[in-house]
């Protein structure tokens, strides 16, 4: 199989994306994870550019990476210094990474209008910097910044920048679509030119997504002779992001037969994607190809019926190959096949024409008309299904609750107090609890009440996410709201939904379902 080296720049280029930031310790965690996954290179950052990256490379010296080469990133030397005199070049050497990536100008406009030096002087900066790294025992990668824009304006000079790096001993020539405006057909043509010109040096593609083509451009480069692809997990990066390796890797492996990661690693791709979103504190993109939660989710009844008979009718790859899973969504668009397949997940065997299926579909249609959505609230749907089947066990009844929110001064945070009364098998429990807000206070009060009856089962259940959405915004402050609560225990997570014109009542319905579902799981 042809091999494509995956060069991961999540820790450097990825952190230039809006809202993406890692501490030095978090960067080390990510680097370990990428090494375990099996990328060829991990670009850790720019030594000397900031204290965090300095700390990261010091920490990384104590780590033995098994499959990946840790890489330091920097620029070619300054115009008025030799490479041996340039402090930032020396910082790259001090990082003690086996590989160093240097970016340099290949677009003549940048040389004359940004650097304001001669074209020949820029070529000498590239040559001197790369040679210094090679002479100091480093594998040198040359990132030709703005290469494709430079090639369009002055192909001879853009290629001469690569030639200078090659003469100095660069192991890889990376062609950067820095502005993200190049088309796949243009990438294919230019990559072939460079590969033919430098047949003994690896050619890499570094694509940005400003035109939504970073994945396509990276694949086009690999198809036309590039042997390294640079990108980030989940497409993190400046402006519109970098090339998303979570799509590039499965495309190259599953569709083009190109080897990118070790055997078996591809099945860890979805877990890696979601883990990184968690570390970065970002909301996962459900619609992301291959690894998104919706990548293999089927909603229309016709689609569900077809997929149950033959998955290839609506799936281009087996979700298990990338560590993802098939999902059948329940909505007013669902047919009986959707309900039957969803029921099987809960070990409930239903026939497509059974009265319970019709009853469930009718109830879903009614509730969704009110603003409910079960796509992100599968636990609520499971409870609804068990009610229709007569398999539902009510664990507690709400007798009533009251909330007081008190603001005592302009500088003081509001105090929220919840008073709650529930009943379990006719036995009432009355509790009072405070919280950071109404939902937190209700959650605390409910737990206090239930501990009198289910103390052990409650210990491992915690609320992990809470979302609110206005259903009919045209009604203004009188609109219905939908709340989604996600909870988890030691082994799994689940989501529940509540809808009301009163946000507290909507939250209570979702909270009660969530806690009840968790208790039923443990029972």
Q: In this predicted model, what pLDDT tens digit does every residue of 394-407 receive, in sequence order? A: 889 999 999 999 88
Is 198 marked active-site?
no
Grouping H, G, I as helix, E, B as strand and the rest as coil, residue 196 is helix
Domain ranges (residues) in the chain = 5-262, 336-391, 397-522
List strands edge to edge, sheet with 427-435: 397-406, 415-424, 427-435
Q: 303, 316, 369, 509: which is the annotated catalytic residue?
A: 303
Residue 248 host element (H or E): helix 245-250
Residue 41 host element (H or E): strand 41-45
Contact 194, 203 (CB under 8 A): yes
How far does Cα 308 stand from its chain's mean position?
28
As a whole number of angstroms, the distance between CA 374 and CA 328 comes to 11
Q: Tell whether the torsion through CA atoms of 6, 10, 14 and 20 is positive or negative.
A: positive
If you ran DSSP here, which 8-state letter would residue 156 be given? H
As a whole number of angstroms, the distance between CA 325 and CA 13 comes to 30
pLDDT at 339: 65
Strand segments (E) across 237-289? none
Grouping H, G, I as helix, E, B as strand and the rest as coil, residue 480 is coil
Three-point CA angle 446, 447, 451, nearest 5°: 120
On the question of pLDDT at 335 being above 70, the answer is: no
pLDDT digits (tens, 9 = 90+) for 191-221: 999 999 999 999 999 999 999 999 999 999 9
As a whole number of angstroms, the distance between CA 65 and CA 57 comes to 13
Domain range 5-262, its CATH number among 3.10.129.10, 3.20.20.70, 3.40.605.10, 3.40.50.1220: 3.20.20.70
Residue 379 has which token pair? 């636990």
Contact 126, 76 (CB under 8 A): yes
On the question of pLDDT at 331 being above 60, the answer is: no
Distances (CA, A) of 25 to 16, 277, 282, 474: 18, 16, 18, 47
Three-point CA angle 320, 325, 331, nearest 5°: 155
Contact 106, 79 (CB under 8 A): no
The CATH topology of domain 397-522 is Double Stranded RNA Binding Domain (3.30.160)
> pLDDT-derived band of residue 519, with 50, 70 and 90 as boundaries?
confident
pLDDT digits (tens, 9 = 90+) for 68-80: 999 999 999 999 8
Residues 339-364, mean pLDDT to the nearest whole number? 65
DSSP string, 115-134: I-S-HHHHHHHHHHHHHHHH
Query: Which pairing describes strands 5-8 and 41-45: parallel, antiparallel, or unpaired?
Result: parallel
Q: Which of 259, 338, 278 is nearest to 306 (CA)?
A: 338
Distances (CA, A) of 516 to 395, 441, 461, 496, 522: 7, 17, 10, 10, 10
| 363 burial via Cβ count (<10 Å: 0-12, 13-18, 19+) | middle
Contact 6, 40 (CB under 8 A): yes
As a whole number of angstroms, the distance between CA 180 and CA 95 comes to 30
Contact 157, 150 (CB under 8 A): yes
Share of the chain above pLDDT 90, in %: 64
How far does Cα 60 stand from its chain's mean position?
24
Grouping H, G, I as helix, E, B as strand and the rest as coil, residue 93 is helix
pTM of structure: 0.74
> pLDDT-derived band of residue 410, with 50, 70 and 90 as boundaries?
confident
If you ran DSSP here, which 8-state letter would residue 113 be given? I
């Amino acid at each position: 199989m042809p091999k494509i080296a995956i060069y991961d720049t999540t820790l450097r280029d990825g952190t230039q994306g809006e809202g993406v930031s890692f501490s030095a310790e978090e960067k080390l965690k990510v680097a370990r994870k990428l090494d375990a996954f099996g990328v060829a290179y991990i670009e850790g950052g720019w030594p000397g550019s900031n204290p965090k990256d300095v700390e990261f490379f010091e920490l990384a010296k104590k780590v033995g990476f098994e499959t990946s080469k840790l890489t330091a990133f920097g620029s070619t030397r300054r115009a008025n210094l030799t490479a041996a005199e340039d402090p930032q070049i020396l910082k790259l050497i001090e990082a003690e990474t086996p590989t160093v990536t240097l970016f340099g100008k290949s677009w003549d406009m940048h040389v004359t209008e940004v650097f304001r030096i001669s074209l020949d002087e820029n070529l000498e900066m590239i040559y001197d910097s790369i040679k210094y790294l090679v002479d100091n025992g480093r594998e040198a990668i040359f990132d030709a910044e703005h290469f494709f824009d430079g090639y369009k304006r002055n192909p001879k000079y853009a290629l001469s920048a690569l030639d200078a790096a090659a003469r100095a001993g660069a192991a890889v020539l990376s062609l950067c679509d820095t502005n993200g405006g190049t088309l796949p057909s243009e990438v294919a043509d230019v990559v072939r030119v460079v590969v033919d010109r430098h047949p003994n040096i690896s050619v890499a593609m570094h694509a940005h997504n400003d035109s939504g083509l970073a994945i396509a451009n990276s694949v086009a480069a690999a198809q036309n002779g590039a042997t390294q692809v640079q990108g980030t997990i989940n497409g993190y990066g400046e402006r519109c992001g970098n090339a998303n390796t979570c799509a590039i890797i499965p495309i190259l492996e599953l569709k083009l037969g190109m080897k990118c990661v070790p055997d078996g690693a591809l099945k860890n791709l979805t877990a890696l994607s979601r883990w990184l979103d968690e570390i970065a504190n970002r909301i996962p993109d459900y619609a992301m190809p291959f690894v998104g939660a919706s990548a293999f989710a089927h909603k229309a009844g016709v689609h569900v019926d077809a997929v149950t008979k033959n998955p290839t009718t609506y799936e281009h790859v087996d979700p298990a190959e990338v560590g993802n899973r098939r999902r059948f969504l329940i909505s007013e668009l669902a047919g009986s096949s959707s309900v039957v397949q969803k029921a099987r997940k809960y070990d409930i065997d239903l026939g497509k024409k059974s009265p319970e299926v019709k009853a469930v579909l009718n109830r879903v249609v009614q509730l969704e008309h009110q603003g409910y959505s079960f796509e992100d609230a599968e636990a609520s749907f499971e409870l609804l299904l068990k009610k229709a089947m007569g398999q539902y066990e009510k664990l507690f009844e709400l007798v009533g609750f009251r909330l007081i929110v008190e603001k005592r001064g302009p500088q003081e945070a509001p105090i929220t107090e919840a008073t709650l009364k529930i009943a379990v098998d006719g036995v009432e429990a009355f509790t009072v609890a405070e919280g950071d807000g109404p939902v937190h206070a209700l959650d605390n009060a409910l737990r206090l009440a239930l501990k009198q009856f289910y103390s052990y089962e409650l210990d491992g259940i915690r609320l992990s996410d809470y979302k609110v959405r206005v259903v009919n915004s045209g009604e203004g402050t009188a609109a219905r709201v939908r709340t989604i609560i996600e909870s988890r225990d030691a082994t799994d997570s689940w989501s529940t939904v509540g809808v009301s014109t009163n946000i507290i009542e909507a939250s209570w319905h979702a909270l009660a379902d969530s806690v009840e579902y968790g208790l039923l799981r443990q029972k």
